[in-house]
Amino acid sequence: MENIQEKQEESTPEQNKPTKKKNFFIIFTVLGVIVIGLSIILFLGRPTSLTISQEILNITYSIELENGTIIESGTNEFIRGQISSNFGFVTNKVDEIINSMKEKDSRTIELDAKDAYGPYEEENKYFQERIRKQNRTFEINRTIFISFEAFEENFGEKPEIGKMYNTSGMMWPYRVVEKNETHVKLIQEPTLNQEIAANFFSYKVVAIDKEKIKIRIEGNNSTIPSKNGNYEIRFTEKEVLFVYSPSIGQEVQLETDLQKPTKARVVGMNETHVFLDGNHIYAGKKIILKITLNNIYRKTITGKNKQMPGAPTLEVFIMSYCPFGIQALKGLIPVWEKFEGKANIEVRFVSYIMHGKKEEEENERMVCIREEQNEKFLPYLKCFVESGDSNSCIQEAKIDKSKLNSCMEERVKEYLKEDNTLNEKYGVRGSPTYVLDGKEIEIYPRDPQSVANALCNAFKEKPRECSLRFSTQNPSPGFGTSVGGVGGGKC
């Protein structure tokens, strides 16, 4: 959907671009708050079940350096053929050796760097500027032009000269001043000193004239934690400063012009830059793997068949306790209920968390329900976004607790690999992220009608469900049933 807010010409200065040794950026969502806050084969029936039989190896192992230092040890179960990848080795040499072993066999396997964690490469060293700046005061055009189609999508009717229009999720009303055969000219009608809440900030209208609206960013010095380290937010009279302050040794996610690495360790910093190493911490080293194959058995599990070719596929990446992820689900669920059996709709998970152990556990709980009790996934989500109470929602959706617990203890890590792979493939940088048929899209407002519009635009032949009218009220971020507010942020 073409969005009114996206048509404004913003005079906000560009963010300082990071100095780089390679073309990369640390995944950074905090600045997006400012931009987001102001920019405006068909199949029948439910997904079928899929039965999988896997050969499981119970292994006791120790991973060591040449000097005897133990990197990792333990006893775990692995799916045959996936042991090397579980250990993070770059080749499958270990799996090839283990395939020749019998129960109770023990082996000591020596791995050169090329078969273990890879050679050490100088080109995988990076540096990143620590400070980015945003002017506190900036102007936007008061007059905007949008297409007739966009107007009707946003306001649900044809434009009338002189009439004022407003809908939930917009910052202020819009008045129609001109129209022609294809476009509508609107003038924005904010109120002087009006304040608009937007996640960590607010925006205050400080001046209005015939051509421009002047806005000032308001807020207090604060620290925002993230998977990639803390961001200190500092307000001066003229600027907002975002100071990146990770911990030494911390692993961060990168965007690069390379296939690998996608992660790097913080190895140092000064007042202006952070220095990162994208090599594995044991890259370039010979590795000794001591292994005992305790037993081999087969396990059969039943999950959902996620491959539904032909229909549009909408994937929504969230964190289970991200208020904006919950907001996205509240806009998605009514559409999902109507389009089930007509479109592929998937809830997936961002590959990092920002809300502690409870979020990690809830992500895993949802993945297990999604994969092994899929017919109960939508009822569970519908309950959870309103109450945030997983225990009561398990009861309400009639989830098989023993099957759920077994999955969370034994199989969820394997299921999450697919989500993590898709995170890297699509470059997911926050919750929520919408991906439609393999391409990231923006849906805002996040109301059900906007979700339905985006989905229906992807059909070659639109089903009758596309004629349904959904709510145009933007759900509020977080748990509950309230609506309204800007709420266009990401975690």
Domains and CATH numbers, the chain: 4-13+135-218 (no CATH), 54-120+285-302 (3.10.50.40), 307-467 (3.40.30.10)
243-278 pLDDT tens trace: 999 999 988 876 544 444 467 899 999 999 999 998
Does residue 16 surpass a pLDDT of 50? no
The whole-number pLDDT of residue 302 equals 56
Q: Of 304, 270, 301, which Cα lies nearest the Cα of 407?
A: 301
Does residue 25 surpass a pLDDT of 80? no
- Top mean-pLDDT range of 25-34, 325-334, 335-344: 325-334
Does residue 298 surpass a pLDDT of 90? no
Number of CB atoms found within 10 A of residue 467's CB: 8
The whole-number pLDDT of residue 429 equals 84
Which position has the higher pLDDT, 385 or 304?
385
Which position has the higher pLDDT, 33 or 123?
123
Q: What is the mean pLDDT of residues 147-169?
A: 86
208 and 214 in contact (C-beta within 8 Å)?
yes
> Which helix (H) or strand (E) covers residue 397, if one does?
none
Which position has the higher pLDDT, 341 or 208?
208
66-77 pLDDT tens trace: 999 999 999 988
Measured distance CA(217)–CA(137) in Å, rounded: 6
Does residue 157 surpass a pLDDT of 70? yes
Measured distance CA(372)–CA(407) in Å, rounded: 8
The whole-number pLDDT of residue 194 equals 93
The whole-number pLDDT of residue 259 equals 42
> Which helix (H) or strand (E) covers residue 292, if one does?
strand 287-304
> Which helix (H) or strand (E) covers residue 71, if one does?
strand 70-79
Q: Of 215, 211, 207, 214, which Cα lies nearest the Cα of 143?
A: 211
The whole-number pLDDT of residue 156 equals 84
Residues in the chain, overall count: 491
Measured distance CA(286)–CA(95) in Å, rounded: 17
The whole-number pLDDT of residue 488 equals 64
Angle, in degrees to the nearest 10, between helices 412-426 and 356-372: 100
Q: What is the mean pLDDT of residues 466-480?
A: 88
Does residue 209 surpass a pLDDT of 70? yes
The two tokens of residue 10 are 């913003």
101-143 pLDDT tens trace: 999 999 999 999 999 999 999 988 988 899 999 899 999 999 9
> Which helix (H) or strand (E) covers residue 84, if one does?
helix 83-87
The whole-number pLDDT of residue 187 equals 95
Does residue 86 surpass a pLDDT of 90? no
In this predicted structure, which of 44-53, 172-181, 343-352, 371-380 has the lowest mean pLDDT?
A: 44-53
**Banded model confidence at residue 311, pLDDT cuts 50, 70, 90:** confident
Does residue 415 surpass a pLDDT of 50? yes
Does residue 328 surpass a pLDDT of 90? yes
The whole-number pLDDT of residue 130 equals 93
The whole-number pLDDT of residue 12 equals 36
The two tokens of residue 66 are 């040449």
Largest CA distance in the chain: 84
Angle, in degrees to the nearest 10, between helices 412-426 and 401-410: 60
Does residue 145 surpass a pLDDT of 70? yes
What are the distances in angstroms from CA 1 to CA 20, 111, 146, 440? Answer: 35, 53, 12, 13
353-404 pLDDT tens trace: 888 889 999 999 999 999 999 889 999 999 999 989 999 999 999 999 888 9
Cis amide leading into 261 (omega within 30): yes
465 and 339 in contact (C-beta within 8 Å)?
yes
- Top mean-pLDDT range of 22-31, 34-43, 94-103, 198-207: 94-103
**Banded model confidence at residue 39, pLDDT cuts 50, 70, 90:** very low
Number of CB atoms found within 10 A of residue 185's CB: 16
3-state helix, strand, coil split of the chain in percent (to 5) is 25, 35, 40
**Torsion sign (Cα): 458, 459, 465, 469:** positive
442-460 pLDDT tens trace: 988 899 999 999 999 998 8
What are the distances in angstroms from CA 190 to CA 157, 290, 420? Answer: 22, 69, 42
DSSP SS3 for 402? helix
What is the pTM assigned to this prediction? 0.50
Region for 63 from its dihedrals, namely left if φ exceeds 0, alpha if ψ lies in -120 to 50, beta otherwise: beta
369 and 401 in contact (C-beta within 8 Å)?
no
316 and 329 in contact (C-beta within 8 Å)?
yes
Number of CB atoms found within 10 A of residue 53's CB: 8
Region for 97 from its dihedrals, namely left if φ exceeds 0, alpha if ψ lies in -120 to 50, beta otherwise: alpha
The two tokens of residue 278 are 């994208």
> Which helix (H) or strand (E) covers residue 33, if one does?
helix 32-38
255 and 240 in contact (C-beta within 8 Å)?
no
Measured distance CA(248)–CA(270) in Å, rounded: 11
347 and 366 in contact (C-beta within 8 Å)?
yes
The two tokens of residue 206 are 């400080």
In this predicted structure, which of 10-14, 166-170, 345-349 has the lowest mean pLDDT?
A: 10-14
Q: Of 153, 168, 202, 34, which Cα lies nearest the Cα of 482?
A: 168
Does residue 52 surpass a pLDDT of 80? no
